[in-house]
Amino acid sequence: MTNRQQNLSLICNRFCRDIGTRFVVIRCMEMKNRTILVVDDEPDIREILVFNLEQEGYRCLQASCGQEALCMAKDEHVDLVLLDIMMPNMSGLEVAEEWQKKGNGPALIFLTALGEEADVLRGFELGADDYIHKPFSLKQVLARVAAVIRRHSAVDVSSEPTENTIVYEDLVLYESLKTAALAGVAVSLTRMEYELLAFLLQHPGKIYSRAEILRYVWPNDGLVLERTVDVTVNRLRKKIGTYREHLKAKTGYGYYWEK
């Protein structure tokens, strides 16, 4: 084992819960030529993330602060950003705000040691595709990254829906890729938007409270709170055109998909 590999092994032991196990190797065509920007003020975390992402076939860039991340994303094509929230001078949320203003930011996965409701909600409002809590599992990081890359990859929406799709008129969800299309045009949905829409479409006419949605849709996600459901619904309505009229709220009860 080289000195670099030994150092990386020590870093893994510090920051990851599942070191010593074999990581699931996720191989898919979407990974090739995908660029991931890792933004964290702690060099050890950046190093171990980049090392494992490169092992999966991704091209990786690193930034140690928010300003550096903004400059790098301006000069390079970036498909996905792993973005730490708590950084000095410019937080991850402030970086995401800058990308949101420009309207063409990359896909985002926030890395956070925090669980405050306000931070989580603000992250989802800014378009976060996902959250990963520190200390993280590398296996979880690789799986979440692959899922976001698949959702943001081009999908063939010209073919007829199959048994692996959820269809409501011109609204089609492709279960295998976790992507959506509206009237034949791909719609970019975050993980939470996709999962909520799929759940409601599969149970049309049935009202679910926020607590029930959390229990059925995100049972093991400790960072998802009841207010997160409202934020996700509001963002989803903006993306599904006239079908937003079918995503209903019944005051005092919850949300449902109207047939």
Indicate if the pLDDT at residue 5 is higher than 60: no
Q: How many residues does the chain have?
A: 259
Kindly state the tokens that stand for 206: 């049935």
Write out pLDDT tens, residues 185-240. 889 888 899 999 999 999 999 999 999 999 999 887 766 778 889 999 999 999 99
Residue the block writes with tokens 């090739």: 32
CB atoms within 10 A of CB 153: 16
Asked: is 165-257 a CATH 3.40.30.10 domain? The reply is no
Q: Give CA–CA dist 39/51, Å, rounded.
A: 14
Q: Give CA–CA dist 255/233, Å, rounded.
A: 9
Write out pLDDT tens, residues 61-102. 999 999 999 999 988 999 999 999 999 999 999 999 999 888
Q: Give CA–CA dist 123/83, Å, rounded.
A: 11
185 has which bridge partners?
182
Indicate if the pLDDT at residue 8 is higher than 80: no
Kindly state the tokens that stand for 75: 């000069």
Domain ranges of the chain: 3-152, 165-257
The mean of the pLDDT values for the chain is 84
CB atoms within 10 A of CB 198: 17
Fold: same for 3-152 and 165-257: no
CB atoms within 10 A of CB 24: 11
Asked: is 3-152 a CATH 3.40.50.2300 domain? The reply is yes
Q: Are 247 and 207 in contact (CB under 8 A)?
A: no
